[in-house]
């Protein structure tokens, strides 16, 4: 096994707060080991275009607290094609990049797998996505911050819902995954939570609202993951009104969940994962993802990560439904 002299790092897919902390950890750990670092801008798009920069020790100064990603990100169609990946492998070889660290979600990891299978580029993945939908790790970078951002909005909406005796349907991110909705639904005291993983029963939502009203409840928060219902919270609320006639408001939290300064938790896991990713490539590991399971670092084969699905914790839904007043 040849020594790794230069490692490439990039972010890809939806940005997530804490990605910068991970980049910083990768750069600083690599430099401490005498490995130089190539930053690849705009994810796989920049990889194909050869949009590379040298990252030195000061290039990552004062970024640990910043949301977004200094390397920028993208979702690349061209990289899904074999000739796009061949071009990317050529660009890496020309730049002398010996191994690649990709920070992102499932799409990013599938790209890493293709690159290593087809072109033998050593690759390691770091899970960075607000969705927390990656198997092999308890948490992904950005989830905790996104949850806290959404929760802040829900708390504020509850004030106005209570003042006006209103029903609010609040849409949070998660096209395929209800993890954010479950967590903020429970922590925000929502009366009901709709997620893509559980077939949704409009009648049961209407019943919950009607029974609450009978008990004298005047305001309600229903948290809806964007993928829980065709048309999101807006369509969901309209369907409830059709059956009940209840007046309501819809609030879509949206991309605000993807930005902002990362929480202490996200900065910490990002730093630990970035450091572990460099340790992994330096020791010759490839096709692995860095996870944290029960607070222990883990190396998880990317093939397993890409072929499995992370289940959401339905216990949160059960508890939320019991304790709603
Ligand atoms: O994967 C992160 C995520 O924010 C999802 O929760 C959401 O469905 C999707 O990205 C939105 O993607 P885009 O910003 O490309 O519209």
Catalytic residues: 131
Could you tell me if 95 and 170 lie in one domain?
no
Q: How far apart are CA 13 and CA 5, in angstroms?
A: 27
Query: Is residue 1 situated within a structural domain?
Result: no
Could you tell me if 125 and 243 lie in one domain?
no
**Whole-number pLDDT of residue 143:** 98
**Whole-number pLDDT of residue 325:** 73
Pairing relation of β-strands 6-11 and 99-104?
parallel
State the CB neighbour count (10 A cutoff) for residue 200.
19
| Cα distances (Å, whole numbers) of residue 70 to 23, 91, 146, 245 | 9, 21, 19, 48
pLDDT single digits (tens) 282-323: 999 999 999 999 999 999 999 999 999 999 999 999 999 999
Query: Is residue 232 situated within a structural domain?
Result: yes
Q: Which domain holds residue 196?
A: 145-259
CA–CA–CA angle 16, 275, 49 (5° rounding): 60
Q: How far apart are CA 80 and CA 168, in angstroms?
A: 40
Which CATH number belongs to the domain containing residue 91 in this structure? 3.40.50.450
142-155 mean pLDDT: 98
| Smallest CA separation from ligand 1 atom 15, residue | 14
Q: Which residues line ligand 1 (CB under 6 A)?
A: 14, 105, 129-131, 173-175, 226, 258
Atom number of ligand 1 nearest to Cα 175: 8
Residues 6+ apart with CB under 8 A from 289: 109, 124, 125, 126, 127, 134, 136, 137, 299, 300, 301, 302, 305
Structure tokens given for 63: 């970024």
With 70 as the cut, is the pLDDT of residue 1 above it? no
Report the separation in Å between the CA atom of 14 and the middle of ligand 1, taken as the mean of its atom positions. 6
Could you tell me if 55 and 134 lie in one domain?
yes
Q: How far apart are CA 16 and CA 43, in angstroms?
A: 13
244-273 burial: b if 16+ Cβ within 10 Å, else e: beeebebbbbeeebbbbebbebbbbbbbbb
**Residue 223, exposed/middle/buried by CB under 10 A (0-12, 13-18, 19+)?**
buried
**Whole-number pLDDT of residue 2:** 76
Q: Are 288 and 124 in contact (CB under 8 A)?
A: yes
**Mutate-to-test residue for ligand 1 from 16, 106, 132, 173, highest number of ligand atoms within 8 A of CB:** 173
Query: Is residue 318 situated within a structural domain?
Result: no
Which CATH number belongs to the domain containing residue 182 in this structure? 3.40.50.460
pLDDT single digits (tens) 8-66: 999 999 999 999 999 999 999 999 999 999 999 999 999 999 999 999 999 999 999 99
Chain position carrying tokens 């059709």? 242
Could you tell me if 241 and 203 lie in one domain?
yes
| Smallest CA separation from ligand 1 atom 13, residue | 14
Query: Is residue 322 situated within a structural domain?
Result: no
Query: Is residue 315 situated within a structural domain?
Result: no
Q: Are 176 and 235 in contact (CB under 8 A)?
A: no
Candidates 135, 108, 145; CA nearest to 124 is 108
What percent of the chain clears pLDDT 90, i.e. is strictly above it? 97
Query: Is residue 324 situated within a structural domain?
Result: no
Report the separation in Å between the CA atom of 254 and the middle of ligand 1, taken as the mean of its atom positions. 9
| Smallest CA separation from ligand 1 atom 11, residue | 14
With 80 as the cut, is the pLDDT of residue 263 above it? yes
Could you tell me if 254 and 273 lie in one domain?
no
Query: Is residue 321 situated within a structural domain?
Result: no
With 90 as the cut, is the pLDDT of residue 201 above it? no
Q: Considering the chain, what is the average pLDDT of its residues? A: 97
**Whole-number pLDDT of residue 187:** 98
Could you tell me if 137 and 153 lie in one domain?
no
Could you tell me if 137 and 27 lie in one domain?
yes
Report the separation in Å between the CA atom of 215 and the middle of ligand 1, taken as the mean of its atom positions. 38
The count of structural domains within the chain is: 2
Residues 6+ apart with CB under 8 A from 90: none
Query: Is residue 89 situated within a structural domain?
Result: yes
Could you tell me if 113 and 249 lie in one domain?
no
State the CB neighbour count (10 A cutoff) for residue 87.
17
**Whole-number pLDDT of residue 324:** 87
Could you tell me if 175 and 221 lie in one domain?
yes
175-196 mean pLDDT: 97
Could you tell me if 13 and 138 lie in one domain?
yes
Could you tell me if 11 and 132 lie in one domain?
yes
pLDDT single digits (tens) 67-77: 999 999 999 99
Could you tell me if 39 and 69 lie in one domain?
yes
Q: Are 134 and 311 in contact (CB under 8 A)?
A: no
């Amino acid at each position: 096994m040849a020594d790794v002299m230069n490692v490439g790092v990039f972010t890809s897919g939806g940005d997530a707060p804490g990605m910068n902390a991970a980049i910083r950890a990768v750069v600083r750990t690599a430099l401490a080991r005498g490995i130089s670092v190539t930053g690849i801008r705009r994810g796989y798009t920049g990889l194909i275009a050869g949009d590379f920069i040298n990252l030195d020790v000061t290039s990552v100064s004062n970024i640990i607290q910043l949301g977004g990603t200094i390397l920028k990100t993208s979702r690349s169609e061209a990289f899904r094609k074999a000739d796009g990946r061949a071009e990317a492998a050529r660009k890496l070889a020309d730049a002398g990049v010996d191994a690649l660290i990709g920070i992102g979600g499932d799409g990013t990891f599938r790209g890493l797998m293709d690159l290593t299978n087809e072109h033998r580029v050593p690759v390691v993945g770091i899970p960075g996505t607000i969705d927390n939908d990656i198997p092999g790790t308890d948490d992904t970078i950005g989830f905790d911050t996104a949850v806290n951002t959404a929760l802040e909005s829900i708390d504020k909406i509850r004030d106005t819902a209570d003042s006006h005796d209103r029903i609010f349907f609040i849409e949070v991110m998660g096209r395929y995954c209800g993890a954010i909705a479950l967590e903020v639904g429970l922590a925000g005291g929502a009366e009901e939570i709709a997620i893509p993983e559980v077939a949704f029963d409009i009648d049961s939502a209407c019943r919950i609202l009607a029974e609450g009203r009978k008990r004298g409840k005047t305001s309600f928060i229903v948290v809806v993951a964007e993928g829980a219902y065709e048309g999101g919270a807006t369509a969901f609320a309209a369907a409830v009104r059709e059956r009940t006639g209840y007046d309501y408001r819809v609030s879509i939290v949206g991309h605000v969940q993807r930005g902002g300064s990362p929480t202490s938790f996200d900065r910490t896991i990002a730093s630990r994962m970035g450091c572990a990713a460099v340790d992994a490539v330096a020791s010759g590991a490839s096709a692995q993802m860095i996870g944290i399971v029960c607070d222990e670092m883990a190396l998880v084969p990317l093939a397993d990560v890409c072929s499995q699905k992370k289940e959401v914790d339905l216990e949160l839904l059960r508890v939320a439904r019991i304790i709603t007043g």
